[in-house]
Structure 1
């Protein structure tokens, strides 16, 4: 099996920087679709990403009700307007995940990013059954997301890759030895290009070079939400092999950004959302159990964004 344009609706369309938008909430805590669409349209209009991954981790998937979720995915599909694919996040156990998958399909999504099952650490046999059942549930292609309690052996990933609608694998664990063995096992079983691979670490730019070395060239950028110019400058340097620019941006922006992000629980989402507000779109607060970042940390983020922009001027 080879993932290509003739067999896959997503392959060939995900070669570029992946955009994971935040989900906008209003002052009363409800979904603010107008602000959400402004956030999406602003990012799609200027430096177009390869895809929109709606209602995933950065989009606070686990705080959304099913009806809210479908409205957000539908809005993302409308804003993308076919220019780029929309991949919707799903999660929980098989029954609930199937409901979200069905809602994503009804909303017009092009594919699904399957986040870990809720709470339990399943066996490899259980994981295989869970992801196969989701792949059978709707006519959408799936990207499996390895993180937290969903950890796969190379043999399990190779078995899942045989399913015609399981087309990608994203890693948020950071175990490069495991990733190299997964890439090798899938290639040995199915040939080159059988799966699309993505680096899904919280600030993937920091590990992009290491992941590329083990056969995982693609990644998602949270920074793209609030500073797309910085994210694209880094991505262009990374793809062209401009290591001088890559190192300058890693040392001058991304490393201090990661150090700032580590100052608070949940900052991988709440600090990103604060950054979007700094950029001029009021996407509201995060939902509990996340909480807002400290004002001093938001001020430091604003200074850091300006410092990063000085590096690319």
Structure 2
């Protein structure tokens, strides 16, 4: 599973009855693929993985596979306690998805050897290529990252920590031993830090903005990858930096602002599930104005 282009992390729409709105999700994913997504990461952080039951993850996986129709890879999240991971990955595998994004175990602080054991058992359960999500309580040393990269089935690491010195050592350690291993920037609003990550040899990133403004996300990606620094800087200054400032108004806005943005663009998604909150009215107004300006 080789990734390229803009990595699309769709939201998970909920209907009036609170269940996953499969039709809206299919429309959302189809629009994203048609707009130029390089891959679909369903039921992940932007898709409120933390609030989904295993059966709902399976539903999201099946909808994503059907909507993508083989045009781009589909990756679906799993994580938490290993018994849940086994249930989640069984459903993901049965959906026909191409891979799994493995989130950290909940709450507990574990030794590095414990993280290796966790990943190894999750990979065995998944039976699919696995990308390990480094964040929260799963921060890898370069030595542990190399050990994980040597596990058959582990194909990449998504970094959600942002420790550039650590990532530099990690990338150097792994790429010196395993060709083709993939790293990507998974920080919120990753476009803001991609110039720094490119200096580490990391060119892939997740784009939450693509979920509600694919035109802006594609324009930035095109400028960033082609060396058009004037356009890249313009978009960073005029759109992305103000978005990050707005994102800081409330914990969880990295998800709920994105979902609100999808609604602003005309697709009804419902609100976010607890413990997140939908944006305040004044923040929705700012988001709408910023989106108009960015477009």
Task: Look up the match of 1:133.
Answer: 121
How far residue 187 of structure 1 moved from its aligned partner, in angstroms, is 2.1
Task: Look up the match of 1:236.
Answer: 222
How far residue 188 of structure 1 moved from its aligned partner, in angstroms, is 2.6
How far residue 42 of structure 1 moved from its aligned partner, in angstroms, is 1.6
How far residue 36 of structure 1 moved from its aligned partner, in angstroms, is 1.1
Task: Look up the match of 1:227.
Answer: 213
How far residue 139 of structure 1 moved from its aligned partner, in angstroms, is 2.0
- Once the two structures are superposed, the pairs formed by residues 273-292 of structure 1 within 5 Å of their partners are 273-292=259-278
How far residue 183 of structure 1 moved from its aligned partner, in angstroms, is 0.6
Task: Look up the match of 1:165.
Answer: 153
State the Cα deviation string for residues 272-307 of structure 1 (Å, max 9, x = none).
Answer: 000000000001110001111001111111110111
Counterpart Cα distance in 2 of 1:297 and 1:62: 24
Q: Which runs of 4+ in 1 moved over 3 A?
A: none
How far residue 229 of structure 1 moved from its aligned partner, in angstroms, is 0.2
Counterpart Cα distance in 2 of 1:189 and 1:84: 28
Counterpart Cα distance in 1 of 2:202 and 2:83: 31
Is 1:70 aligned to 2:33, yes or no?
no
How far residue 138 of structure 1 moved from its aligned partner, in angstroms, is 2.8
Task: Look up the match of 1:18.
Answer: 7
Task: Look up the match of 1:7.
Answer: none
- Once the two structures are superposed, the pairs formed by residues 85-124 of structure 1 within 5 Å of their partners are 85-124=73-112
Counterpart Cα distance in 2 of 1:240 and 1:196: 20
Task: Look up the match of 2:185.
Answer: 199
Unaligned runs of 5+ in 2: none
User: Per the alignment, in what secondary structure is the counterpart of residue 18 of structure 2?
Assistant: coil
Counterpart Cα distance in 1 of 2:234 and 2:110: 42
Unaligned runs of 5+ in 1: 1-9
Task: Look up the match of 1:3.
Answer: none
How far residue 249 of structure 1 moved from its aligned partner, in angstroms, is 0.6
Counterpart Cα distance in 2 of 1:149 and 1:63: 19
How far residue 96 of structure 1 moved from its aligned partner, in angstroms, is 1.2
Q: CA RMSD in A?
A: 0.9
Counterpart Cα distance in 1 of 2:57 and 2:174: 33
Is 1:44 aligned to 2:39, yes or no?
no
Is 1:31 aligned to 2:17, yes or no?
no
How far residue 18 of structure 1 moved from its aligned partner, in angstroms, is 0.2
State the Cα deviation string for residues 49-96 of structure 1 (Å, max 9, x = none).
Answer: 110000000000111111111111100000000001100001102221
Counterpart Cα distance in 2 of 1:44 and 1:186: 31
User: Per the alignment, in what secondary structure is the counterpart of residue 50 of structure 1?
Assistant: strand
Counterpart Cα distance in 1 of 2:57 and 2:123: 19
Counterpart Cα distance in 1 of 2:176 and 2:218: 34
Counterpart Cα distance in 2 of 1:106 and 1:118: 25
Corresponding pairs, count:
295
User: Per the alignment, in what secondary structure is the counterpart of residue 143 of structure 1?
Assistant: strand
How far residue 43 of structure 1 moved from its aligned partner, in angstroms, is 1.5
Give the TM-score, by structure 1 length: 0.93
Q: Which of 239, 242, 252 is the equivalent residue of 1:256?
A: 242
User: Per the alignment, in what secondary structure is the counterpart of residue 189 of structure 1?
Assistant: coil
Is 1:174 aligned to 2:165, yes or no?
no
In 1, are the aligned partners of 2:263 and 2:269 still within 8 Å (CA)? yes
